[in-house]
A and B are shown apart, each in its own frame.
Chain A
Amino acid sequence: MSEAGPGLPIGILAELTHRCTLQCAYCSNPLELLKADKELGTAEWRSIFEQAADLGILQVHLSGGEPILRPDLAELVGVLASRGLYSNLITAGVGLDETLTARLAAAGLDHVQISFQGARPETTEAIGRLRGSHEKKLAAARAVRAAGLPLTVNAPIHRRNIEEVELFIDLALELGAERLEIANVQYYGWALLNRPALMPPREAVERQIGIVEAARAALRGVLAIDFVAPDYYASFPKACMGGWARDAFMITPDGTAMPCHAAASIPGLRFDNAARLPLTEIWNRSPAFEAYRGTGWMNERCRGCERRDIDFGGCRCQAMALTGDPTETDPACSLSPLHAHVLALAESDAASAEATIHPRRIGGARAGELTR
């Protein structure tokens, strides 16, 4: 950490609930999902969002689980709007009808992001494990449009839908979306557990990159395409969260403030709760935020690297998951001595014909709950 202390944070990912209409095998929620009785109430989220505005936060991503399952969603959007914060609803879209969209738009919602598990109805149903979900998502996207709200189509990519990338681009254009996120699944939590059934082969990833690059060039000014690379096959790691506790963080349904989704997978980190401690104090002094902030924690390989301030040594949680040491170089980095091992893991998972997954639901991570 620099002597000047942390800068001001820009964004918060607020996971309002872990409850969800879908059961995607790569969900970024933890394996131990929180039940509804652990969720913060309206007053607590209101206070957190007011404090966020005071702290300098500019954007709040309202996520879950499925955030539209919270009956107070429009009220919370209203709090954000009243303080000028940019509000981004991250939803699976199932149940987002014209009435709710109109209420959210009236409350001042800035943007809606709807996930599509497939570009084909049968893929969406199989991945999210909900019949009729594709049509419901299409209806939600049209409701978003009818309410005059901007739309991003979010496409999480893995082995079971990687051949639908071109169709995702057509879908985003048909729906009149401004943005399309082609986001290759990152392997933590549920996705790590289900990695053998999800990892795409390298050739498919390369084909996908070619398609995205061509579409970006052809659709300049028409559709913005954001691409999240599958980092097991990358040369350099992702700048996870733009650096640990550097300009964004997240809050879980029970108020736990964490530098990222998977931070609880690092043993020994001490988290604070945003319903009990002022947000400023958490941002400036939370032990979990301080742990890997800046470059002081780095090993010599990372500290001496010219990419130190570009990717910050990659992802701490991935270093933990794949090397057992959260201070190691993220092995997605080609400069890591373990990089070849990670590549071999990806290739062997991709070549496996593994089709069984642990469905994302309470208790779903336990052995014996497998499904196709």
Chain B
Amino acid sequence: MTRPQRPIAGAQSRPALPRHVRMHFDERRGAWALLSPEKVLWPDEISLAILRRCDGRSEAGAIARSLALDYEADEDEVLADVLAFLQDWSDRMVVRL
């Protein structure tokens, strides 16, 4: 059979959380958790800022632009960071591109 290809993150990708991953605010620990079948991930502030924008509609380029504004950072540098993050998390199946 032909095997599906590895998704590659680009500025036009519209990332979303895959259906087996769910964000949950954990009251007891006072932190956001990313719940998946066998794992619980605790994203840091920057990861969380990216993940919140992964709504399946916004392009990675627009996400980077919005983050650059919020954090007063260089847009190109932010885009590179966002794409690296998305690629890594897509490879681990916790983000869908």
Residues of chain A having any CB pair with chain B under 8 Å: 8, 10-11, 55-56, 58-59, 84, 86, 88, 110-111, 113, 148-150, 152, 170, 173-174, 178-179, 218-224, 226
Contacts and interface: CB of A to CB of B under 8 A. Distances in A.
Interface string B6-44: 110000000000111010101011000101111010000
A227 to B, nearest CB: 12
5 closest A-B pairs by CB:
A150-B20, A56-B28, A86-B35, A224-B93, A220-B91
Given A84-B24, A110-B20, A220-B91, A8 B35 contact: no
13 contacts: A8-B29, A10-B40, A88-B37, A111-B37, A173-B1, A178-B19, A178-B20, A178-B93, A179-B93, A219-B4, A221-B97, A222-B6, A223-B93
Contacts of A149: 19
B6 A111 contact: no
Contacts of A170: 1
B4 A150 contact: no
B94 to A, nearest CB: 9
Contacts of B29: 8, 56
A58 B39 CA distance: 10
Nearest to B5: A222
Contacts, number: 71
Looking at chain B's contact residues, is the secondary structure mostly helix, strand, loop, or mixed?
A: loop
Contact of A110 (B5, B35, B90): B35
Contacts of B7: 221-222
Contact of A226 (B6, B20, B38): B38
Contacts of A110: 20, 22, 35, 37
Nearest to B91: A220
B37 A150 contact: yes
Contacts of A173: 1, 3-4
A178 B24 contact: no
A58 B20 contact: no
A110 to B, nearest CB: 6
B57 interface: no
Given A111-B37, A178-B18, A221 B6 contact: yes
Contacts of B36: 86
A59 B35 CA distance: 8
A11 B91 CA distance: 25
B61 to A, nearest CB: 20
Q: Which of A173, A174, A221 has the most CB of B within 10 A?
A: A221
A152 B93 contact: no
Interface string B53-79: 000000000000000000000000000
B19 to A, nearest CB: 5
B60 to A, nearest CB: 15
A283 to B, nearest CB: 12
B21 to A, nearest CB: 9
B91 A86 contact: no
Contacts of B4: 173, 219, 222
B24 A58 contact: yes
Given A111-B20, A221-B91, A152 B37 contact: yes
Given A224-B92, A224-B93, A58 B40 contact: yes
A221 B93 contact: yes
A360 to B, nearest CB: 24
Nearest to B93: A224
Contacts of A84: 24
A220 B6 contact: yes
A58 B6 contact: no
B89 to A, nearest CB: 9
A306 to B, nearest CB: 25
